[in-house]
Structure 1
Amino acid sequence: MALFVKQETYFVWQMTSYFDCAATAPIDLDARTALLRFTDLEYGNAGSRTHEFGVQAKRAVQSARAQIAELAGARADEVIFTSGATEANNLAILGLRAHGERTGRRHIVTTAIEHKAVLEPVQALVAAGFEATIVAPSTDGRVSADDVLTAVRPDTLLVSVMHANNETGALQPIEAITSGLVGTNALFHVDAAQSFGKLRGPLTDPKIHMISVSGHKLYAPKGVGALIVRRGETKVPLAPLTYGGGQERGLRPGTLPVALVAAFGAACAAASRDADARVARCSEIRQHLLHAFEPLGAMINGSSDNGLASTLNISFPGLDSEAVILVLKDLVALSNGSACTSASYDPSHVLVAMGLSDDRIDGALRFSWCHMTEEPNWEVVAARIRSLS
């Protein structure tokens, strides 16, 4: 009986359209193949130099570095593997503490719409005596490049601005900020967890000193990510947060998870190869969604012109988000906020920072999809939502 229930539940999941790709995405076929190969067959340690298992593992890691670096116009030796973008963000921010204390540059500029994996490390530095300027966004969820650049001071150590917001999909003016920081001493860090491998152009600028990326947002398995640390004219004076082993240029010790790394590399190669087709498919789904929800008075929370093709944050007038999620639970899997803070019932700090009304925030729903997403019957979805009115 238990087995029957498990199979039945799995069947229901498969009948539900998955629209929570900003939380985590399905795994790419090439990534899955690499994952299984280096889990089951070529399971050597990349640090083992005395036998062929280790040699093959090291080659896989080197290949993955190059595949990941290519998406950012970086060099393979600029890729530092981590467990994900959260760890990468922590290393990029907290890893500068000693340098800031030594040089007296203890000022950080960031934005109010950053992921908590940026905001909380910044607050940890503030508690240690640093100062932070938090730039507010406009009502469309985008910060002004001028506001960010105006906040920069002679003692600014770091500017940290995300590329694409994880709740609204709104794109931040990374290019303008990068150009505006030329001639300053401030280091520039970009959290690109949501955009890496999807929007390439702005991230290839060598004047971006650090980029945080996540595997499972780009169709690789969970548990792997990277911090890309440029090795250009400006040296990034990072110190490790953990010690023991000296791997990853001494910045992130520990045995590399070769299977996860190889899968991440394969996912990046696929993203580079299929970029145009993926954007076209995501844009098509976006059009279908907006067409279905327009008669319901749906309000877009975030920029309608400057955002990811695969993410929309929407509120329906007079409807609570939990009620909509409940009525759609067998049709569409979606969320009403960041999965990283889903245990909290506090209002979204992103939507609050945008200055939206309480009712609009309470009704906010995040639809996020990818090129592999199976669309639901939008007429049925719209009818379910209309039934709540």
Structure 2
Amino acid sequence: MSVYLDFNSSAPIDERVLEYMIGVYRNSYGNADSRTHDFGDSARRIVEDARGRVSSILGAGKDEVFFTSGATESNNIVLQGLKSYALESGKKHIITSAIEHKSVLETAKVMQLDGFEVDFVKPGLNGQVSAEEIISLVRDDTLLVSIMHVNNETGVIQPVKEIGQSLADLNTFFHIDATQSFGKLVDELRDTKYDMLSMSAHKIGGPQGVGALVLRKKQYKRPPVKGIMFGGQQEHGIRPGTIPVPLVAGLGKACQIAEEEYHDNQEKCEKIKCRILDILDESGIDYEINGDQTCSVPGTLNVCFNGVSSEALMLASRQYCGVSNGSACNSSSYSPSFVLTAMGIPIEKIENSIRISWGSSSDPNEVADAFENLVQVAKKLAF
């Protein structure tokens, strides 16, 4: 049976989360915004409990958490939701990186058509952007700096803590896309200064289709983000539409579990990474790691097998494991990874690179066996 090694695309749902959600589906089918009966009250209590779970793991306030369909929507709300304020204030300069998720990159490019100026900062060969370069680009008219915490293709941790500290006293908003770090780098996020944060439940063992946008308050005021859809005042107008109570409940349960277990989870993932690196070293195959492993999360590895086509390798090894060669948002495209391209990696090495990602629920022995088989396949394909 093939072993799943694509957790960065979507992690398997935690059985404890699923069981909790089934109970909500069966017993709490009311609308959380219905005010006239007990069914609505019951649903609302579940939603507010989940809101508290999200705020707890971040050390944020409950009134700073807004539920969305996931990080892609949250990212869109951040960028597009600041348009009115930008027009009023004249601040139409945005700084982001060239390795962000497409929900940031493509939205920023569309905003360029509306007269916004956007700086796309490239990382170094190590996969990390320079905090100093980011800060050096900040101007009086800089509206927003938007940087992901952990890159989804390389696992490299970006210097959001340093950037947040530098921006804390400036009149510029700071947004973190924490899709790959939420529930994992818990202590670092709690200790980082930011105005806005995006996350998705399905990266931490929660259900697909739900996430959150966190809008931190300064002097009792949240960032001037406005909803980009219309049709109701749910979530204070930030995200109208009926709140999917079971999905939100699943997000809350996943946050509860992550807050209780994140230290152990990171240790489990680190042990798996060590085994994978040992297998690579002992195999004798010609390989390189894309991204600096001294500043990388323990559940991701981007490997270049020199002389081995990643497309051929993925197809030839699929009976052993499920891996990818980039972000799921680009899965229909065979163009080279824009992340690795921005890092300055040569095209022939990009075409030989795959991403493997795992989680604390992965069985170390199964992962090791599957990866050993993948390496043997790669040896046969090498030219």
TM-score range, shorter chain: over 0.9
Tell me which of 173, 178, 181 is aligned to 1:187.
173
The runs of 5 or more residues in structure 2 that have no matched partner are none
Q: CA deviation at 1:144?
A: 0.5
Q: Single out whichever of 275-284 and 198-207 deviates more from structure 2.
A: 198-207
Is contact 2:186–2:262 with CA below 8 Å preserved after alignment? no
Count residues with an aligned counterpart: 375
Per the alignment, residue 46 of structure 1 pairs with 32
Cα distance between partner residues in 2 of 1:72 and 1:120:
28
Is contact 2:165–2:192 with CA below 8 Å preserved after alignment? no
Secondary structure of 1:71's partner? helix
Cα distance between partner residues in 2 of 1:108 and 1:20:
32
Secondary structure of 1:161's partner? strand
Q: CA 1:229 to 1:206, structure 2 compared with 1: closer, same or farther past 3 Å?
A: farther
Q: CA deviation at 1:182?
A: 2.5
Is contact 1:30–1:263 with CA below 8 Å preserved after alignment? no
| 1:370 matched to 2:363 | no
Cα distance between partner residues in 1 of 2:180 and 2:132:
23
Secondary structure of 2:214's partner? strand
Per the alignment, residue 379 of structure 2 pairs with 386
Is contact 1:159–1:186 with CA below 8 Å preserved after alignment? yes
Percent of counterpart pairs with the same letter? 43
Cα distance between partner residues in 2 of 1:285 and 1:372:
11
Q: CA deviation at 1:205?
A: 4.1
Cα-to-partner distance string for 1:25-50 (whole Å, 9 max, x where unaligned): 00012211221111122211111122
Per the alignment, residue 334 of structure 2 pairs with 345
Is contact 1:193–1:213 with CA below 8 Å preserved after alignment? yes
- For residues 235-384 of structure 1, the aligned pairs below 5 Å read 235-294=222-281, 295-374=284-363, 375-376=366-367, 377=369, 378-384=371-377
Q: CA deviation at 1:364?
A: 1.1
Is contact 2:66–2:212 with CA below 8 Å preserved after alignment? yes
Cα distance between partner residues in 2 of 1:298 and 1:43:
52
Secondary structure of 1:190's partner? strand
- For residues 44-193 of structure 1, the aligned pairs below 5 Å read 44-193=30-179
Is contact 2:161–2:193 with CA below 8 Å preserved after alignment? no
| TM-score, length-scaled by structure 1 | 0.94
| TM-score, length-scaled by structure 2 | 0.96
Q: Single out whichever of 50-59 and 18-27 deviates more from structure 2.
A: 50-59
Is contact 2:161–2:192 with CA below 8 Å preserved after alignment? no
Cα distance between partner residues in 1 of 2:286 and 2:204:
32
Q: CA deviation at 1:110?
A: 0.4
Letter in 2 for 1:323: A
Cα distance between partner residues in 1 of 2:29 and 2:20:
11
Secondary structure of 2:266's partner? helix
Secondary structure of 2:233's partner? coil
Is contact 1:74–1:206 with CA below 8 Å preserved after alignment? no
Cα-to-partner distance string for 1:291-326 (whole Å, 9 max, x where unaligned): 112231321111111011101111001111011112
Letter in 1 for 2:290: N
Cα distance between partner residues in 1 of 2:97 and 2:188:
18
Letter in 2 for 1:326: L
Cα-to-partner distance string for 1:84-129 (whole Å, 9 max, x where unaligned): 0000000011100111011100000000110101011111111100
Per the alignment, residue 31 of structure 1 pairs with 17
Secondary structure of 2:184's partner? coil
Letter in 2 for 1:62: E
Cα-to-partner distance string for 1:307-354 (whole Å, 9 max, x where unaligned): 111011110011110111122100010001111111111111111000
Runs (4+) of structure 1 moved beyond 6 Å?
Answer: none
Q: CA deviation at 1:203?
A: 1.8
Secondary structure of 1:296's partner? coil
Cα distance between partner residues in 2 of 1:164 and 1:102:
33
Is contact 1:20–1:367 with CA below 8 Å preserved after alignment? yes
Letter in 2 for 1:100: A
Cα distance between partner residues in 2 of 1:127 and 1:99:
17
Cα distance between partner residues in 2 of 1:223 and 1:243:
19
Q: CA deviation at 1:235?
A: 3.6
Secondary structure of 1:245's partner? coil
Letter in 1 for 2:65: V
